[in-house]
Amino acid sequence: MKNLLLILGVAALLSSARAQDQPPPAPLAVDLTRSIMKSVFESNAVPFVQPMVTTINATSNARFFTTAYVPEKVDKPYFRVSVNGMAGIIAEEQKWFDPSLDLGARENLYDALVKHGTTTGGVYKIGPLYSDTLGLASVFMRELLRDALAAGYFGIPDRAASLFGFQPDNRVVLPTKENLVTVLRQRPEYLALSAAGQAAFLDSLITRLTLPTSLTLPPGANMSSITAAVPQLEIGSLYGTELLLRFVPPVRFSENVGDFSFWGVGLKHSLSQYFPERWFDLSVQGVYQGTSLTNTIGLTESKLSANATIRSFSVQAGKRLWDVIDIYGAYAYEHIDVISSYTYVLPHETQVQLGLLPLDPPGGKSEPTPERPGDTKPQTSTVEAEDLNHKFIFGFSANYGPVRAALDVNIGNFNIVTFALAYTFNQPE
């Protein structure tokens, strides 16, 4: 009986909101649209950024060495300064993913009624705050959207662009009012209200609420390759151990990648020094790195801030030929954790549909005005992603006195070619 009274009391929602001088329907529609947009964005955020995570992992964990050899004893420390470049082609499958929509777990409408209002003498009264109106309307609308998703009333594209791809104006089509009315009339709450002669209220809640027809997915940055250059310093050798240092201050990496900073520290230790006879060079190396990336992505002007921690462990083997050439190979295990933060507003066309921006002029886009300033409440979504990589490296280097040049190929989740040019001060014999 109590639940039925709560259901019947919902009929007072609109009149109660008007009596309490609540904002007009537009703010409610805008807030509901923001909630839907956040679900669309976060449902697809991980596959959207995962190719970038894989690429950063492969690119950052490259070009640590030009030879497997580490001198066991030296008369004085040596310092090897190098410039290291990496280049890779982004595969077609890394540019796309299958979009989806997750609206979360089901919510209890009865609990929402209790949370956002009270029942006195059999009459339900919504709370005095706009957050009560928004809260109850959000739960109600999201339940209908879940029903509409299950009924196939959402138009979700077959594919979408990852950060590396490019597909502008790729939209998730939202259910129409007619679709929402259809699923509404199948809900038990509607049937209970209908039996009490109060169902018209729920119909009016939908017909008076203007939502956009679609939401646009991020278009991607349209990248087909990635290149990087990292300065590096190696210091050795103490008991057959080298120290590696690399650092890149915040710089504008490229228009697509954005502002990038980078640091790394590692140790490399010779195992072949323990062999009775050194027929070949064998060493192990561990490196810990961190990166920071900020950028503005695509037509939606999403602000990206990503911080990564990267760990790499490798076993390196090589052989020196004719005292001037080293051939080498390695196996590397790599792991990256990335925490990305996106700050974004509603797509331009959605803002126009909601009345946040003026209508677009013919052949152009409208600009904000004092009366219609656009979406002034950006949302933020935090996405955590990781990548594991097993990589094989094959290459060679050649030296002429203190100058060394190297070229190798890295085969793993993302294949790249790397090269290096190094100069060693206090070159050991």
Tell me if 419 sits within 8 A of 406, measured CB to CB: yes
Looking up tokens 């190098």, which residue turns up? Answer: 82
Closest CA to 393 of 290, 287, 313: 313
- Other C-beta atoms closer than 10 Å to the C-beta of 327 total 17
Looking up tokens 């580490």, which residue turns up? Answer: 70
Return per-residue pLDDT of the chain as tens, 429 residues. 444 434 334 433 333 333 344 233 357 778 888 888 888 888 888 888 888 788 877 888 888 999 999 998 888 999 999 999 999 889 898 999 999 888 878 887 778 777 887 777 655 677 888 788 778 777 888 888 889 999 999 999 999 998 889 998 888 898 988 888 888 888 887 787 677 665 665 666 676 666 788 888 888 888 888 888 889 999 988 999 999 999 888 776 566 567 778 899 999 999 999 998 888 999 999 999 998 888 766 545 678 888 889 999 999 999 999 888 999 999 999 999 988 888 888 888 888 888 888 888 888 888 888 888 888 889 998 888 888 999 999 999 999 989 999 999 999 988 999 999 999 998 876
Q: Which pTM value belongs to this model?
A: 0.75
**Which residue ranges form the domains of the chain, and what is each CATH number?**
2-41+99-162+169-216 (no CATH), 61-89+225-362+370-425 (2.40.128.90)
Spatial separation of the C-alpha atoms in residues 310 and 393, rounded to whole Å: 18
Residues 398-410 as b or e (16 or more Cβ within 10 Å = b): ebeeeebebebeb
Helix (H) or strand (E) holding 416: strand 416-425
Helix (H) or strand (E) holding 235: strand 225-236
Q: Enumerate residues 6+ apart whose C-beta is below 8 A from 111.
A: none
222 alpha carbon, distance to own chain's centre: 16
